[in-house]
Every structure is written in C-alpha cells, then in structure tokens.
Structure 1
C-alpha cells in the first residue's frame, strides 16, 4: 500500500471510475486463467462446470466462474463486490480461521499503522447507527448470520460474523451510558489475509458494515 493510499477509501469511492473500470477488466481477464474447481475444493464450496463456485455473501449466493460473476437470484452483481469475490477465488486458500481476533492494522503491517480508516469507515458508523439500540443491533446481526460469541468486557456485546466462508469478523459494541458515547471495535480473524489479500479484505469489511448499518 502506498503512502497516498493509506487513508483512501478501500471501497474505491474516491478512485476514478475509469481507473476502476480498467482494474475490473484486468480482473476479468485474470479470472479466465484461474483454476476455479481447485479453489472451490480448497474453500470447501459447491462447484459445477456450468455455473462455477457458489459463494454465499450477505444472504445471497454468487456464482464465480472463469467467465466472471453472476448471482443465483438473477440480480446484478456490483463490480466492486465482484472484484472482492474474484480476489477471494483467486487466492483459493485452504486456510481456516485461527480463532484469534486482531485489528485491521495488525493484519496490514506497518504501512497501515497510522491510518484512521478502520475507525472512521467501520467502527464509527456502527456506533452512530446503534447508539441506544443494542436490541436492534442483535436483531440485525442475526439477520446477517451473526452470533453472540467472544469476549467483550463489562457492558459490551461481542458478535462474530462469517463475512465470506472462513473469513471471520468480530464486532464488539458498547452502548452509550450517562458518561460515555456508544463505541464499536471491529476485529478480524488472524488468518483472514491468508484467505484474501489485505486491500480486498478492507473492501469486504466496508461492504459488510454498510449493509449492517443500512438494515
């Protein structure tokens, strides 16, 4: 990650549309050479020659093949989402969760240490959306397959989500009280970047959190 990109929006909203289009077209070309069957086997996901590998994400099932991305429900697949899924299949990792959660900056290494991205784009929107609404957070989390799990500390709620198969995210939420505002902490399984590259993980998290807070 370059110095210029440290505080950029990994979801690509600050990037030029033309630039992203070129990147997306390059990904489509690269997908033509990927061994999708092997990736499916490593990830433990269903695969057919006709449709490709089935990847569940945000309550939908996406079909990723050498031809590109489609969805079982027939709805359009946004290019930014397709790009994340392409990177996930290209990695095609047999890694599994470590069972230990760390910060986004720990996964990124030294170049991301000073970035405020996790706080501004991931944690702050959760705190704003669910301040005074812990019960609603639990309900929305359940709709996304979240489960109460992990350590939160006094007065906190810990939720674990499988964003993509084997890529786990933990959200620790502390609701507001008389002294402190609501606060959220977003963590990732320590093996997350063995299953997808770091920048795609950041985009994946952004898409997931935006869906969470907009429900």
Structure 2
C-alpha cells in the first residue's frame, strides 16, 4: 500500500490536530525560525508555504493539501524539542537513522529509484525542476549534479545524481543531516523523501 494514501493517515492527522490543540504552537516559532500569522504559523515545505493552526492546515494559494503533507507538518511542530540540542552537521542516508529499518525499502523505491528512472539521460530537466522548487546547486567533482533543498526549516536535504553511462545506470542518493531525527519521526522523514521525488517529477502536485 502507498503509505501516503493509507486511510490510516486521515485518522493520524485528526489525532495530531487534537495534539496541536494541547500545545502552544507559537512558542515553537522562534525555535524553528517560523513566521507567525493571524492565528497560524507559516511553515515552508520544499519552498511552498502552508498555514498551520490547531484547527487545520491550508495552502494560502488554494491548492489542495494532501493528508501526507498535513501529517508531516503536524508532526514537525509536535516533535519540536523545547530547546534545540547541538545540531549535527554530519550527513547520513535514510538507512543510517537508528529507527529507519522498517521503511528503508519504501524510501529507496519511492525516492531514489523514481528519481533515477525519471531523470536518467535528462540531467538538464532535473536541474530545471530542482531550481523551480527552490533547490540550489552545490559544487561537486564527484556527481553530475549535486543539489540542496530545504524540506522544512532545520531539515536540509541533499540530492546527489550521476547520470547513466556506458557502464553504469543512473544513480541518486538522498542525504539528511543526522539531526533531522530531532524534528521528525522516521515515517514522516521518509515522506519528505517521497515528496521531493514527487515534486521533481510532477511539478505543482503534492
């Protein structure tokens, strides 16, 4: 089953909204670098702004918000520590997170492999799509294209891509800071990967 389309997600979202009503979400604004609005917080997810309040989550541009996105945004505020711990700059793959085990296959299939198959032989299109969603190009002598995105404030995501050649197929690797687990659980962190892939292959969706 596609985790993002599971009916359990709607139930999870409703439960998280109830949890948001029990906390002061605005107390987390400065800690996370979020801008408060009138009764809501402005939370950017891969450069797209959402309005988050205990009564619900909306897209100010009028686009539909998937339940998966709602769950991630709720969990981001609920998981936020009361004080920021020292944030590691060390980069890790999803597999390297302590509790990632059960979701590694899901992440690989729905993130790395989709990016590889979609953009093999078309690095210029990957670059175009990445820049359109706020990605920045990093210097690299190892990869054909190295990119950085911001899934959420405090959660940068790196995408390294090598195109196919006569010997090897295209390969994509997605990296997070080790400190990302301070802000999201493994399920929601996996969804940030699938959202990245989804928005690269289908701009304007998700």
Query: 2:182 & 2:43 partners in 1: Cα distance?
Result: 17
In structure 1, C-alpha distance between the alignment counterparts of 2:169 and 2:55, rounded to whole Å: 48
Distance 1:99 1:149, change over 3 A: farther
Which residue is equivalent to 1:52? 40
TM-score normalised over the length of structure 2: 0.87
Cα deviations across residues 91-135 of structure 1 (Å, max 9, x unaligned)? 2343686332101011144x6079422321111111111111111
Structure-1 residue corresponding to 2:190: 202
Structure 2, unpaired ranges of 5+: none
The structure 2 residue matched to 1:12, chosen from 4, 20, 30, is 4
CA distance in 2, matches of 1:61, 1:39: 17
Q: Distance in 1 between matches of 2:72 and 2:103?
A: 24
RMSD of Structure 2 on Structure 1 (CA)? 2.2
What's the CA shift string for 1:55-93, capped at 9, x where partnerless? 112442111112121222133322221111000111234
- The residue aligned with 2:95 is 105
Pair 1:141–1:106, CA change in 2 (3 A): same
Aligned residues: 201
Instruction: Determine the structure 2 residue equivalent to 1:131.
Output: 120
* Aligned-partner Cα distance in 2 for 1:97–1:125: 30
**Ranges in structure 1 where 5+ consecutive residues have no aligned partner:** 1-7
Distance 1:115 1:72 in 2: 33
| Residue matched to 1:33 | 22
Using a 3 Å threshold, how does the CA distance of structure 1 residues 55 and 152 change in structure 2: closer, same or farther?
Answer: farther
Give the counterpart of 1:144 among 133, 137, 150.
133
Residue 73 of structure 2: aligned partner: 85
